[in-house]
Amino acid sequence: MINALNRKSIMTLFSDPLCHYSHRARFILCEKNASADVEFVDGKEFPEDLQELNPYGTLPILIDRDLALFDSRIIMEYLDERFPHPPLYPIDPVSRARSRLLIHRIDKDWYTLLDDVINAGEKKAAKAKKLLRENLIAALPLFEANKYFLSDEFSLVDGVLAPLLWRLPLYGIEFPKEAVAIKNYIALVTSRETFRESLSSEERDMMESHELMAS
């Protein structure tokens, strides 16, 4: 790829095919039904011209004309504002701020643990797996409160949560019978047509392989 920013005439999302941060950006892109290309890039072999767009060497990266964005949260918020219908954040500033804070906590409390489950050494990964399961079960009342997560309408918060929760079975994180609200929520958000559209072929293969092994 040569000069990725200049050669793109259509919005383009550069995405790792397996990374949960890239997945959630793809999910929101599908929710917005935005006219955009998705180009899959191996995050372990980061192209030089993308390095110029993101000095941290991480995916996803969104290019829209002469704008280049990195960090999945910034990308998701930009997509929500760039394509305002339907809005995925509340309209009023107070509720919007609360949603942003909630996403921040999900990232700090749950996504950080998932990162350790996937990338840390065996001992630290096992501890993270246990903590993630316990933290989610402790949040059971929040899953029970509304149809979606603390809302009766699908929101950006659900777009953040779905890729994380969808991956839990792959790492042996299961819930007890009494956590039915969490199981129902996972089924609800991952059954959305836009969620299925957001999956890369590698993610589909990954889940199918897991299901075959578990059967």
Q: What is the pLDDT of residue 43?
A: 80
pLDDT at 213: 64
User: Does the structure show a pLDDT above 70 at 9?
Assistant: no
Catalytic-labelled residue, pool 4, 11, 19, 69: 19
Provide the CATH topology of domain 12-82. Answer: Glutaredoxin (3.40.30)
Annotation says 30 is catalytic: no
- Which ranges in the chain are annotated with CATH 1.20.1050.10? 93-214
Say how far apart CA 160 and CA 151 lie, in whole Å.
Answer: 14
- Is 4's pLDDT higher than 60? no
Summarize the confidence of residues 9-26 as an average pLDDT. Answer: 94
CA distance 46 to 61: 11
The per-residue pLDDT for 48 is: 82
Look-up of token digits 């903590």: 131
pLDDT for 45: 82
Mean pLDDT of 51-67: 92
Q: What is the mean pLDDT of residues 31-43?
A: 93
Q: Please give the Cα distance from 44 to 57 (Å, whole number).
A: 9
Is residue 2's pLDDT more than 70?
Answer: no
Which residues in the chain are classed under CATH 3.40.30.10? 12-82
- The string of pLDDT tens digits covering residues 128-160 is 999 999 999 999 999 999 999 999 999 999 999
Q: Give, in words, the CATH class of 93-214.
A: mainly alpha
pLDDT at 1 over 50: no
Among 155, 140, 15, CA closest to 96: 155
State how far the Cα of 14 lies from the Cα of 59, in Å rounded to an integer.
7
pLDDT higher than 60, residue 6:
no
Mean pLDDT of 72-89: 96
